[in-house]
Amino acid sequence: MQPANGTDTTRRRPFVGLSVKLLVLTILFVMFAEVMIFVPSIANFRVTWLKDRLATANVAALLLEREGEGLTTSDALRADLLAAIGADAVAVRGEGMRRLLAMSSMPGMVKRDVDLRVNRPLAAIADAFETLVAGGDRTIRVIGQPPRSGEFLEIVMAEAPLRWAMLRYSRNILVLSLVISLIAATLVFLSLNGLFVRPMRRLTEAMARFSAAPEDPARIIRPSRRGDEVGLAEERLATMQRQLAGTLKQQRRLADVGLAVSKINHDLRNLLASAQLISDRLTDLPDPTVQRFAPKLIGALDRAIAYCQSTLAYGRAEEQPPVRRVLALARLVDEVADVVGLVDHPTIVFENRVPAGLEIEADPDQLLRVLVNLGRNAVQALEAGEDPALVRRLTVAAERAPAGVRITVADTGPGVPQKARENLFRAFEGSARPGGTGLGLAIAAELVHAHGGTIELADGAPGAAFVIVLPDHAPEAGDADRTGSV
């Protein structure tokens, strides 16, 4: 929501952008991976630390076992050996008896045995974490292979040095993991920020700039030369912005045209009203020719005034729903020839091939406008040629078909160009001649569809042939929508 002065009250919250989220997630993922590595590594560290003590004890045991061979050891040497091992006592078991090799003092009660002769990874992991949690003041007995002969070698020692060594190792792993996480996150951040985040920010800013003034061509994004999906998105966005800018420009022009048409209709309605007053006086003249054409002139003026009035009333040329009546189609086609000016035309031959008894259910004014628009287009095409040898003929034929009445309006002109066929029934796009607007065909198609019928350009004709099919019954609600619109 924006305040009255038009400034945006929304502010970007700090440290919640995509870049920061990516950095945090990378650190978390690397830390998670380090934790998964730490679990077996701390167990391995504990086993290795104890094996090192056993290896030292093995060397001491070899020396102490030489006492029976004439080698003497003093109490001070025994104390130094036990200090090097970090144990309170060293013993070996062999030949069914246990022999104590050295002991510094009376050790405490042994609360846990650690047998390194058995390799059990899961048990080693559980023992390692138990040592970290509860191994502060316990005395343990570590059992391993003897130096030469015997069943096993054992040392009795306090567990506190092992626990402190494991804590220091864990601290070092934590610091190393943090350093690795920061380095990896920084590298990933810099890489993805350049590959994705900045291009996405550029796309977002380009859309924001364009939305502020979509008709300004300078605000259309300029695609980079990237060949990946980001580059493709930039090209698609640029294409969409160009199309939207063109559409908005055309809509503005159409709005200006609509305003101009409304002004023209207002003045034209007044002029037609004056012409209607004058034409009413023509009916008082005794001239037979005047009596023949005066009703047609008055009818044409009435229709023109009513159409101008409807355009002004709705603010746009939106057609009224058809009022269907039963019509004699042949007589309506004769009236079309009079309105278009084909009666006694010097160069164009008009042929009314509608059967005399053929009746059609349609709105008389709207069907007349459809045929007049098609007829005027045909006359303009036929008059364009200057060669006197050209055959200039306009034919209106009709027949009853299973779907209703089929009307064909055909001429012997140059036909409809292929370029105009693509947008044939669209206003301002489907004109077949230079300077044309295409409104005639667009209006004709709209009126035909309002009747629930169809209109299309027939293929294979020497000139242009439009085929109209009007159903014999009024369409139900929604039928016109199902037939499509142009």
Digit-by-digit pLDDT tens for the chain (486 residues) are 444 444 444 444 444 566 677 778 877 887 788 788 888 888 888 888 888 888 887 777 776 666 555 555 556 766 777 777 777 787 777 666 667 677 777 667 878 888 888 888 888 888 888 888 877 788 888 888 776 666 678 888 888 888 898 889 888 888 888 888 788 878 877 887 777 777 888 888 888 888 888 877 778 888 887 777 777 888 888 888 888 888 887 777 777 666 666 666 655 655 565 565 556 666 666 777 766 666 767 677 667 666 665 554 444 445 678 999 999 999 999 988 887 888 888 888 999 999 999 999 999 989 998 998 899 888 888 888 778 888 889 999 999 988 899 999 999 988 888 777 777 877 656 555 555 556 778 888 889 999 999 999 988 778 889 999 999 876 654 444 434 333
Those residues with Cβ within 8 angstroms of residue 27's Cβ, 6 or more apart along the chain or in another chain: 181, 182, 185
Q: For the whole prediction, is pTM greater than 0.75? A: no
Q: What are the backbone angles phi and psi of residue 354, rounded to the nearest 5°?
A: -80, 130
**Cα separations (Å) of 224 from 129, 189, 196, 197, 221?**
55, 22, 13, 15, 9
CB 468 within 8 A of CB 406: yes
Q: What are the backbone angles phi and psi of residue 408, rounded to the nearest 5°?
A: -120, 125
Three-state secondary structure call for residue 347: coil
Per DSSP bridges, beta strands 110-115 and 139-144 are parallel
Q: What is the 3-state secondary structure (H, E, C) of 57-76?
A: HHHHHHHHHHHHHCCCCCHH
Beta bridge partners of 92: 99, 153
Ranges assigned E (strand) in 248-334: 325-328
